[in-house]
Structure 1
Amino acid sequence: MNVTNLEQLKIMAECDIIELPRFKDDIPFVVKVKRTSLLGLIRKGVIPNTLLSAAEELFYGKKASKGVDLDQLTNVMFVMAENALVEPSIEDLKSVDLELTDEQLVALFNYTQEGLKAVQKFRTESTDNVSADNVETLQTDAESNNKSN
């Protein structure tokens, strides 16, 4: 087994470009993000002591002994999103009066914990459930109905 070299580490440290759940159906929301460590943010004091129970609950997936409320959980998820978003930043969104949706916050949190595989479900395109033959028939029927009206 070889030690990971610095060039490989540089590649791992680069930002990812992902598509988050959309604000509007017709406009994709593509962002530049970086992986953020929940424990690293706690160590740096970015997540204050008052939110440690909520961070523990999010990280370990179990109820904290102190009874965490939704406000605390939301604050931790927002701190994670704020630190993960590179472009546009949270400040950029605020400048155009946008706020991340619940679905986007969850997607960003999941990305920080699991990487690209966590957001791939948001990127899948829905497939048509109508075959091309049926579309052609429907189009022909619609055109003939328009001519008779």
Structure 2
Amino acid sequence: MAVTTIEELRKYADGSEVELPGFTPEQPFIVRLRRPSLVELIVEGEIPNPLLGSAAKLFQDGVSQSLGYDGEQFRQTAEVLMQVAKACLVAPTFEEIKAAGLSLTDLQLYSIYGFMQTGVNTLANFRTGQGGKSGDSHGRAVPKAAE
């Protein structure tokens, strides 16, 4: 087994091209993301002190458990997700997206957080859900009570 070289580490710092859920189903959204550490973001002050409780809960429980029903807790978790997106987005940057008049969708924010925690494999679930569907499958999974 060989030691990872500094050149290889620099490639990691450049990030990876990743397909996020698009702003519309027919338009892919390809970005370059890097994987910073949530712990490092906290230590470096990128996650402000008032959000540390929400960041710790997010780190421990993941997004679905951290949102909760408390409005303040939800707001704080959302702020942490925004900070994570700012730290992860290499190209386009978070600021460039905002300057274009866009806001990241909730699904995009969750996807970026998932990428930061586990890498590109997490995003496979989102991509398979976006694929084109044949016209003959509509309504098959709808329970009778919903029809």
TM-score higher than 0.5: yes
Query: Could you tell me the TM-score, scaled by structure 2's length?
Result: 0.76
- In structure 2, the partner of 1:92 is 96
The reply to whether residue 117 of structure 1 matches residue 121 of structure 2 is: yes
- In structure 2, the partner of 1:16 is 16
Q: How far 1:9 moved relative to its partner? A: 2.3
AA aligned to 2:102 is L
Q: Are the counterparts in 1 of residues 14 and 90 from structure 2 also a CA contact under 8 Å?
A: no
Q: Are the counterparts in 1 of residues 15 and 33 from structure 2 also a CA contact under 8 Å?
A: yes
Q: Are the counterparts in 2 of residues 19 and 122 from structure 1 also a CA contact under 8 Å?
A: no
Task: Give 5+ residue unaligned stretches, structure 2.
Answer: 137-147
- How many residue pairs match? The answer is 128
Bigger radius of gyration, 1 or 2?
1
Structure 2 counterpart SS, 1:69? helix
| Identity across the alignment (%) | 36
1:1-28 superposed Cα distances (whole Å, 9 cap, x missing partner) = 5433323323333311111111112211
AA aligned to 2:104 is L
The reply to whether residue 33 of structure 1 matches residue 33 of structure 2 is: yes
Output the CA distance in 2 between the equivalents of 1:85 and 1:116: 14
Q: Are the counterparts in 1 of residues 31 and 89 from structure 2 also a CA contact under 8 Å?
A: yes
Output the CA distance in 2 between the equivalents of 1:5 and 1:95: 37
Output the CA distance in 2 between the equivalents of 1:8 and 1:84: 19
- In structure 2, the partner of 1:42 is 42
Q: Are the counterparts in 2 of residues 111 and 119 from structure 1 also a CA contact under 8 Å?
A: yes
Task: Give 5+ residue unaligned stretches, structure 1.
Answer: 131-149
Q: 2:111 aligns with which of 103, 107, 111?
A: 107
Q: How far 1:129 moved relative to its partner? A: 7.3
Output the CA distance in 1 between the equivalents of 2:110 and 2:10: 27
Output the CA distance in 1 between the equivalents of 2:93 and 2:7: 27
Query: Could you tell me the TM-score, scaled by structure 1's length?
Result: 0.75
Q: Are the counterparts in 1 of residues 22 and 29 from structure 2 also a CA contact under 8 Å?
A: yes
1:12-56 superposed Cα distances (whole Å, 9 cap, x missing partner) = 333111111111122111111111211111010111110000000
